[in-house]
Amino acid sequence: MEREAFLSRVRSAIDLSRLPEGSDTDPGPLVPDLPPVDLVERFANALETVSGTLHVGEGLAAIDHIIERYSPGPLLAWDDGELPITGASQRFLDAGCGLIDGTVPSSADGRVDHQRGYFDVKYGLTGAEAAFAETGSIVVRSGLGRPRMASLIPLIHIVLLPEDRIFRSPMHWLTEPGSDAAGAANVVYITGPSRTADIEQKITLGVHGPRELHVILVPA
């Protein structure tokens, strides 16, 4: 077909086209209408699928078990007041783990020296804003007393997750009145340990982030 004839037909179609009438009523957030499930069981299965580990039971005992398995090492943690289990950080210190300061200095030289200390971080201890049963993902919001690097750079990321923060999907969480993702400076969605694949499609864990993800379920 000649170019001008083709463009003429396009112009004619545009002139005749009409957009469908829109509704005057806001439909609101589109939350998937899914059948009820056991959220903990569904989350546990999804987390296992993405190579994460769920610990159910007494939270401090789970921390002891993890340290015993992997041996003590430097810890970067959220402040105690930001964690759902009292004494969680102290458990690491009692086991011989050194605590790394998560406060980043304001000066350029101070930031460089501070970042050098990140090379040796073995454990990262954080809470979580939410978790999703469909994907095994967790949501971490950084802020005052919540250093963002605690979930990004350690070899082993340990998450203290309240059971009532498990939602079916991201939309089920975002439509909750208490969710404040838009008001946070940094929100990270984490699905299992860090993973990458080389040109032969061989999966390697821990190249760009934690090699292991342990989620400790805290009773509501």
Question: pLDDT tens-digit profile of 69-90?
Answer: 999 999 999 999 999 999 999 9
Measured CA to CA in angstroms, residue 213 lies from 55, 83, 183, 207 at distances of 11, 17, 26, 14
Distance CA 31, CA 37 (A): 16
DSSP state of 11: H
Express the helix, strand and coil content of the chain in percent, nearest 5 each. 35, 20, 45
Q: Which of 44-53, 128-137, 169-178, 202-211 is predicted least confidently?
A: 202-211
pLDDT interval class at 1 (50, 70, 90) = low
CATH, range 37-218: 3.40.50.10420
Domain-by-domain residue ranges, the chain? 37-218
Helix (H/G/I), strand (E/B), else coil: 213: strand
Conformation bin of residue 96: beta by default, left when phi > 0, alpha when psi is -120 to 50 = left
Query: What is the 3 state secondary structure string of 106-141?
Result: CCHHHHHHHHHHHHHCCEEEECCCEEECCCCEEEEE
Residue 141 pLDDT > 80, yes or no? yes
DSSP state of 100: P
What six digits make up the tokens of 144?
A: 């005052």
pLDDT digits (tens, 9 = 90+) for 90-114: 999 999 999 998 888 788 878 888 7
What six digits make up the tokens of 159?
A: 């998450």
Closest to 130 in 3D by CA, of 60, 189, 177? 189
